[in-house]
Amino acid sequence: QKEVEQDPGPLSVPEGAIVSLNCTYSNSAFQYFMWYRQYSRKGPELLMYTYSSGNKEDGRFTAQVDKSSKYISLFIRDSQPSDSATYLCAMTRGVTGGGNKLTFGTGTQLKVEL
Amino acid sequence: NAGVTQTPKFQVLKTGQSMTLQCAQDMNHNSMYWYRQDPGMGLRLIYYSASEGTTDKGEVPNGYNVSRLNKREFSLRLESAAPSQTSVYFCASSANLRGGTDTQYFGPGTRLTVL
């Protein structure tokens, strides 16, 4: 069993829809939870991060963490064609002297259609 | 400010050939990382360097070597390429400051095909 599980999709939605992307994890030591966005043939870029449980909002994007269920979500409101990308969740225990190793999900491919 | 740069962008090798992938960052970051990305497997850590002068194995280090040349540069070497090493390789860097999260910034990737 992988430490982080993510539905690979693809997920296709109409423009303006609310999108829900999710990951589950098994390691209770994870404290920081991130969402990266990766456009086709590009490197991943950080979209949002959340510390411990709770919600964080940034414009049309909301990240939620439920540590009791080991479940994280990314919601995209009023989705746009420019949101079409692969979304990767990532998590870590935090920075230690030995570097900060992230554990990634496999990514969910999202397509927002006109 | 270019961020993280990688060379080359594309490479085709024959089985048994060797090559070095180059990575440089201009953000004065302490830590650097090499990942490979394969369909259905996500990003997997090959090697990382927490700080200048140190390197450590990640999840999938076999068949690779690394060198942290200085604070800016971190190279990945394939000594004898195999078809199983066909992948997209990403370099990343982060500040690695104690006490919090640590955003990793990724380069544009190198697409490697081993025939």
Report yes or no: A59 at the B interface, CB cutoff 8 Å. Answer: no
pLDDT at B99: 58
Report yes or no: A32 at the B interface, CB cutoff 8 Å. Answer: yes
Q: Answer yes or no: do A34 and B43 touch at CB < 8 A.
A: no
Residue A97 has pLDDT above 60, yes or no: no
Which residue type sits at B65?
N
pLDDT tens string for chain B (115 positions)? 689 999 999 999 999 999 999 999 999 998 999 999 998 888 999 999 988 889 999 999 999 999 999 999 999 999 999 999 999 999 999 886 665 667 889 999 999 999 9
CA A9 to chain centre: 13
pLDDT at A96: 60
Residue A54 has pLDDT above 90, yes or no: no
Asked if residues B112 and B64 have their Cβ atoms less than 8 Å apart, the reply is no
Q: Which residues of A touch B106 (CB under 8 A)?
A: 43-45
Which residues are CB-contacts of A59 (< 8 A; sequence separation ≥ 6)?
Answer: none
Pairing of strands B19-25, A61-66: unpaired
Name the maximum alpha-carbon separation found in chain A.
Answer: 47
Which residues are CB-contacts of B62 (< 8 A; sequence separation ≥ 6)?
Answer: none
Which residues are CB-contacts of A83 (< 8 A; sequence separation ≥ 6)?
Answer: A19, A76, A110, A112
Q: Best residue in B9, B23, B37 to probe A by mutation, most A CBs within 10 Å?
A: B37
Q: Answer yes or no: do A98 and B90 touch at CB < 8 A.
A: no
pLDDT at B103: 81
